Homo-oligomer: A and B are copies of this chain.
Amino acid sequence: MNPRKTGRHLTQAVTIKDVASHLGVSPSTISRALARPELLNAETRARVLEVVEQLGYQPNLIARNLRLQETRLLFVVVPTLSPFFLEVFRGVERGARESGYAVLMGHTERDAAREHLFLDQVASQRADGAILVTSSDSAALLARSKRMPPVVAALEEVEGLDVPTVRVDHRKAAMDATNHLLALGHRRVAHIAGPDRQTIAAHRREGFQAAMTEAGLDPHAYPTLSGDYAVTLGESAMETLLTCNPPPTAVFAGNDEIAIGAIRTMKRVGLQVGKDISIIGFDDQRIASLYEPPLTTMRVPTEELGYRSILLLVDLLRGKADVPDTVLPTSLVIRGTTGQAPA
């Protein structure tokens, strides 16, 4: 409509004193009318509420927080804004709402400095606690050992950080995924892994290798290519794997994005996915069921992970001293990209 808007908001904020003097009562009365109405004469309270409404008084949270020494605010720190971490965030939010906390999210792009920034905000009492949904190799966090604020790690332990953790067993889940391929008769199995220095990726790789070794196969028969969890990695890694002689009949991808990239390459060279070659992903992201063919994958209970984390964190905030770690189960979701090994 009008091309320019003005800074109407810049008017001075109404304080509790303003309301009080307006009514000729003390600030205490205003505070009570809002926080503990039962302590007040019903009529006084009504008058206060009216003036509050009329003046548009909003208590200054900063002042209240300072006085109360709590913010009822929690941070969730995720490494990237990928759908995977957002699922976790959803769970966190649900739990937070149930527990009377508000949640705000920050992301770090796997930058340790930015991670610190958020923790500092908590240490500096801008929030009461934080959930760290990190997947970074945050050995750097070790440094700040003193005055660690209430923190819970979701998804995976944070190396060198001794905090309660809600996670899945990535290693075992990776074994399960690999074993699914093995059970279908595959013997030439390759793995495309996530970032080398990332704990989770490392655990998944270990799981793959353990399952292969247990089955009497060489886990290093094919090179384990690795990189960021991205479609492009899957594409290029698969190209490389197809140049091997003989090429693998099955691939265990470090996550769904990598799997989809690999499938794109498979399709491009005319391979029938699920028949000529099998592939299994990891995480069961939303796209997994939507893709064609729908992706067989290892489901990680992301939302639940977030939910349980926040419950732990709230326990911590309530002063519970001993908070147990939690390990949630993963589950194999068989869809269209895995089938019997070709004869």
A: which residues have CB within 8 A of B? 2-11, 13-14, 56, 58-63, 65-66, 71, 73, 75, 81, 83, 86, 89-90, 93, 102-107, 117, 120-121, 123-126, 146-151, 162-164, 231, 260, 264, 267, 287, 290, 292, 316, 319-325
Contact = CB atoms under 8 A, between A and B. Distances in A.
A260 B290 contact: yes
Contacts of A59: 124
A80 to B, nearest CB: 10
A105 B104 contact: yes
Contact of A164 (B5, B10, B123): B5
A23 to B, nearest CB: 19
A104 B114 CA distance: 13
A263 to B, nearest CB: 10
A58 B146 CA distance: 11
A134 B205 CA distance: 41
A124 B280 CA distance: 50
Contact of A63 (B7, B66, B321): B66
A292 B103 CA distance: 37
Given A60-B125, A61-B124, A62-B65, 7 more contacts: A9-B151, A9-B316, A11-B147, A58-B124, A61-B121, A61-B125, A103-B106
B7 A320 contact: yes
Nearest to A325: B3
Nearest to A323: B5
A265 B232 CA distance: 27
B321 A6 contact: yes
Contact of A7 (B93, B319, B324): B319
Given A104-B106, A105-B105, A58 B123 contact: yes
Given A81-B90, A147-B11, A149-B9, A324 B126 contact: no
Interface of A (DSSP majority class): mixed
Nearest to A70: B62
B86 A81 contact: yes
Contacts of A324: 3-4
B71 A81 contact: no
A10 B128 CA distance: 11
7 contacts: A5-B164, A56-B147, A59-B124, A61-B121, A61-B126, A62-B125, A267-B292
A234 to B, nearest CB: 11
**Residue among A59, A61, A147 with most chain B CB within 10 A:** A61
A53 B48 CA distance: 47
Contact of A231 (B149, B290, B319): B290
A7 B56 contact: no
Given A86-B86, A104-B75, A9 B125 contact: no
Contact of A58 (B2, B147, B151, B231): B147
Contacts of A107: 93
Contacts of A62: 62, 65-66, 71, 124-126
Nearest to A59: B124
The 4 closest A-B pairs by CB, nearest first: A104-B104, A61-B124, A56-B146, A105-B105
